[in-house]
Amino acid sequence: MSANQAFLPFTKPTIDEETISAVADVLRSGWLTSGPNVKALEAQLSTYFGGRPVRTFNSGTCTMEIALRIAGIGAGDEVITTPNSWVATANVIIEVGATPVFVDIDPKTHNIDLNKVEAAITPRTKGIIPVHMCGLPCDMDQLYAIAKKHNLRVVEDAAQAIGSTWKGQRIGAFGDFASFSFQVNKNVMTAEGGCLVLNNEEEAKLAEKYRLQGVSRTGLDGIDVDVLGGKYNMTDISAVIGLGQMKRLEEFNAKRKALAHHYFTSFGADFESSTGAELPVADFTNSNWHMFHIVLPERVNRAEFMQKMMDLGIGLGYHYRAIHLFTLYRERGFTDGMFPISERIGKQIVTLPLFPAMNESDVERVVSAVKSCLQ
Ligand SMILES: *Cc1c(COP(=O)(O)O)cnc(C)c1O
């Protein structure tokens, strides 16, 4: 790494001084756990998602688990999902006692191949968890047509998709359950956290129960517990970070989009044909550009490529290794070759730096490093 160039990580949160002092105010207030800031964040998110009920949690993962529980999905049921995601997406299916059924992805979008979903439906199929990978939405018309035809509940893993749209409507503002993550790498972050967009107040009340040990209040000094819940509530410290982030969401996403656009311009029209690498779908309408990835050609060893980039001061990610090839999933009968597209992507994908505080010269630096490391 040349001495005058700082290390460029693949992502980094943008936290302003206003947010930092708001966190300090919460700490000084004495009310640290779920309180007024959680309520305020939920109200703001509900407005953001077109007035639908929204509840916050301490992770994105648990929002999906809770959505499955609210839908009554459990032992004996099958849930269809994609092998190309963070392992959380499939783990929650096992967590509620149901069986994950994988369907391979589309090689271009890296989202679940909806054309292959119907062949995987059985009489036991109760739900589907699609992922809007990198913020690029699934075909929502096709998704909900399949769900309606086969009477499936949908839990959208929209962990990466805050601010993404479909035909002008925000992801989460329509459909069935939509789950968002506020983990530190996401477009809106609360350090750790997440939210679930629900269909009605009845579901929202159930979500509150599952969030806190199944407790419901029966008066000033009374509680009852009639379902088994966990401990999933968001703190006010996290919520106030989220409020500071929500203020800047449009700005953050606009910056991401501009940087993504600059990646395409900088790679140039012949990048794919001259290197054999693949660029993402150039969607500047729907995507929130949560991540910018490239797929390396087969001839390139990813670990070696990542090391060379690291030597040039550039950190890369890889999102994701195919879930079904992890030991836990192999033990459940999954093997190599079952979902070849996810397996190839899982081995060859790299995530390039993209975050709001970057500038165009950072993008150009990454692009020239990628080109030289591919030679
Ligand atoms: C981040 C992420 C999750 C998990 O979110 P957490 O808040 O870390 O629990 C799940 N699915 C996808 C696609 C993600 O990107």
pLDDT in tens, 330-362: 999 999 999 999 999 999 999 999 999 999 999
DSSP per-residue codes, 137-199: ---HHHHHHHHHHTT-EEEEE-TT-TT-EETTEETTSSSSEEEEE--TTSSS--SS-EEEE-S
Asked if residue 131 has its Cβ within 6 Å of ligand 1, the reply is yes
62 pLDDT exceeds 80? yes
Residue with tokens 């992805």: 105
Q: Give the pLDDT mean for 37-65.
A: 98
Mutate to test the pocket of ligand 1, among 181, 185, 351 (most ligand atoms within 8 A of CB): 181
Q: How far is the CA of 176 from the centre of ligand 1 (A)?
A: 18
Helix 360-373 / helix 249-267 crossing angle, nearest 10 deg: 40
The yes-or-no answer on residue 186 being catalytic is yes
| Domain ranges within the chain, ordered by starting residue | 17-246, 249-374
Q: Measured in Å, how far apart are the chain's first and last C-alpha atoms?
A: 18
pLDDT at 277: 98
- According to the model, what pLDDT value does residue 2 have? 53
| 234: pLDDT strictly greater than 60 | yes
Distances (CA, A) of 257 to 39, 253, 260: 30, 6, 5
At the second CATH level, the architecture of 17-246 is 3-Layer(aba) Sandwich (3.40)
> Using 50, 70 and 90 to split pLDDT, how confident is the model at 4?
low
User: 17-246 and 249-374 share one CATH topology?
Assistant: no
Name the active-site residue from 126, 149, 186, 347.
186
CATH number of 249-374: 3.90.1150.10
Residue 3 has pLDDT above 80, yes or no: no
How many CB atoms lie under 10 A from the CB of residue 154?
A: 21
Ligand 1 centre to CA of 184 (Å) is: 10
- The answer, as to whether pTM is greater than 0.95, is yes
Dihedral-angle region of residue 135 (phi above 0 means left; psi in -120 to 50 means alpha; beta otherwise): left
Average pLDDT value for the chain = 97
pLDDT cut 70: percent of the chain above it: 99
Please tell me whether residue 47 adopts helix, strand or coil conformation. Answer: helix
CB of 89 closer than 6 A to ligand 1? yes
pLDDT digits 0-9 by tens, 156-213: 999 999 999 999 999 999 999 999 999 999 999 999 999 999 999 999 999 999 999 9
Q: Is the pLDDT of residue 328 over 90?
A: yes
The pLDDT value recorded for residue 5 is 80
Beta bridge partners of 101: 80
